[in-house]
Amino acid sequence: MAPTWLRRALTVLLAGGALTGLVAAPSLAAGAVPGAKGAGDPYFPLQGNGGYDVGHYDLALSFTPSTGRISGVATIAATATQPLSRFDLDLRRTLAVSSVTVDGRPASFTQPANLGQELVVDPAADLRAGARFTVVVTYAGVPKPVTDPDRSIEGWVATGDGAFVVGEPQGSPGWYPANDTPRDKATFDFHLTVPQGLFAVANGDLTGTSTAGGRTTFDWHEGEPMSTYLATASSGRFVVTRGVTPGGVPYLDAVDPSQVAQSRPQLAELPAMVDFFSSVYGRYPWSSAGAVVDHAPSVGYALETTTRPSFDSAPDELTLAHELAHQWFGDSVTLCRWRDIWLNEGFAEWSSWFWSEHTGQKSAQQFFDQRYATSARNSDFWNPPPGNPGSAAGLFADSIYDRGAMTLQALRTEIGNDAAFLGLLRDWHAAHRYGNARVEEFVRFTEQRFPHLTGLPHFFDVWLYQPGKPTSW
């Protein structure tokens, strides 16, 4: 930036037309300003950034479990959505950046201490709106798990023989530079290098492996757009099983040796689950399926990492079904704001009940009835209401899952016809495939589809938004 006196003088001269043709920068990126530091989600104000849209991440990561250190080169292809003088990526400061280039030219950058996850990039030249550009970030460090508002941990979690890597809602900048808003979906390539003998697993298809100098690189490709929080790069000693479901979806399971026996009966059901949900919700949205079953007891939950959900230990049958159903609801149709979490969790949880019903075990209505018997005085069971978690700390409250799934089961009863109810879910997915949606959009979508059900506005208000046990709807 020029000193004030010079800018004033230039402004005066420009206004008079004296310098026309001499000052090149303004015509290249007129009005270039810094991109916003966040994407506008009130639960995570610094998450994501403004001013550009990522199309593709190419992540080359080398990991040494014995030291815990990773070193990475992230190549990010993006498009400017405004004239940009500067922009941020999200990356935690536990990872030190050594260089950034934009379109091959060195860019200056900072990792400000007061903005925990912002990597501020100042390219050598301003970017005009619509410009495609490539950022290359070289970085290294010992990643630390991120602690969430609900006090759970996520991100890069060391396991001794490798790492368990999950990113919802804000762990991804703990291991790679990202525009970490669920709304900026992108395709991914991963090149994960680990000591020979270990396996490294990411999203999508395994496209190659190569070993040199005692280290093996695993190349993974995810060709459909996914949200950054759904990326994974877990590694360790794994027993790998590959196959194809009867319906034709290739799958790969990577299982920690300590979990093989306990997960075998559930994983045997995985092909049937993928095919069942495909028959109910529409063609499987990804090119491969599977699971990562690690031993990471400090995590305490599973995550629907795209194509291949991640489990911190052997999953039970319902949890496996829940994470596989997320491949449609959560991963393909993704929440728009974090407060829309019901669209992910309520739908996945109800789907696990429906799997149980499909296999002749407990029916979804039996799940509903058992939970409905919970006293209205049990505030933690009924609150927060699934359509409004209230804060980031409430995102994964039990009520989002249980009452969230009950909402769908009650809706099934309201509609009174399974073909019509399942058609709603299927068309909802089709309408927002690989996109993002809000709870209000699902409400409107349903009301427009069933105009004769005039009680739906009241129904949704009671089940989704009113605190406490729903008693009449």
Smaller CB separation from Zn ion, 255 or 348: 348
Task: Supply the minimum distance, in Å, between the C-beta of residue 320 and ligand ARG.
Answer: 11
**Residues binding ligand ARG: number (CB under 6 A):** 13
Stretch that binds ligand ARG, among 49-57, 68-76, 150-158, 242-250 (CB under 6 A): 150-158
- Of residues 313-332, those binding ligand ARG (CB under 6 A): 322-323
Smaller CB separation from Zn ion, 107 or 296: 296
Cα-Cα-Cα-Cα torsion 28, 30, 34, 36, nearest 10 degrees, comes to: -120
* Residue 369 in the binding site for ligand ARG (CB under 6 A): no
468 three-class SS: coil
Which listed residue (88, 219, 345, 402) binds ligand ARG by CB under 6 A? 345
Residue 150 binds: one of ligand ARG, Zn ion, none (C-beta under 5 to 8 A by kind): ligand ARG
Tell me which residues touch Zn ion (CB under 5 A). 345, 348
Amino acid letter, residue 473:
W
CA distance 215 to 193: 6
Write out the DSSP string of 233-292. EEEES-EEEEEE-TTS-EEEEEE-GGGHHHHHHHHTTHHHHHHHHHHHHSS-SSS-EEEE
Task: Supply the minimum distance, in Å, between the C-beta of residue 397 and ligand ARG.
Answer: 10
* Residue 180 in the binding site for ligand ARG (CB under 6 A): no
Q: Which residues contact 3 (CB under 8 A, 6 or more apart)?
A: none
* Residue 398 in the binding site for ligand ARG (CB under 6 A): no
Say how many Å lie between the first and final Cα of the chain, rounded. Answer: 61
Cβ atoms of 107 and 100 within 8 Å: the answer is yes
Query: What token pair was written down for 346?
Result: 């309520």
Task: Supply the minimum distance, in Å, between the C-beta of residue 275 and Zn ion.
Answer: 20
Smaller CB separation from Zn ion, 115 or 280: 280
Residue nearest to Zn ion as judged by C-beta position: 348
Residue 302 binds: one of ligand ARG, Zn ion, none (C-beta under 5 to 8 A by kind): ligand ARG
* Residue 150 in the binding site for ligand ARG (CB under 6 A): yes
Smaller CB separation from Zn ion, 161 or 345: 345
Q: Which residues contact 114 (CB under 8 A, 6 or more apart)?
A: none
Query: What token pair was written down for 126?
Result: 């301003």
* Residue 118 in the binding site for ligand ARG (CB under 6 A): no
Task: Supply the minimum distance, in Å, between the C-beta of residue 302 and Zn ion.
Answer: 7
Q: Which residues contact 460 (CB under 8 A, 6 or more apart)?
A: 387, 443, 446
CA distance 285 to 301: 24
* Residue 277 in the binding site for ligand ARG (CB under 6 A): no
Task: Supply the minimum distance, in Å, between the C-beta of residue 276 and ligand ARG.
Answer: 18
Q: How far is CA 105 from the centre of its chain?
A: 30
* Alpha helix ranges (H) inside 339-472: 342-358, 364-372, 379-382, 398-415, 418-432, 439-449, 456-460
Stretch that binds ligand ARG, among 118-126, 148-156, 201-209, 286-294 (CB under 6 A): 148-156
* Residue 304 in the binding site for ligand ARG (CB under 6 A): yes
Task: Supply the minimum distance, in Å, between the C-beta of residue 168 and ligand ARG.
Answer: 5
187 three-class SS: strand
Which listed residue (291, 303, 343, 424) binds ligand ARG by CB under 6 A? 303
Contact residues for ligand ARG, defined by CB under 6 A: 148, 150, 152, 154, 168, 301-304, 322-323, 345, 396
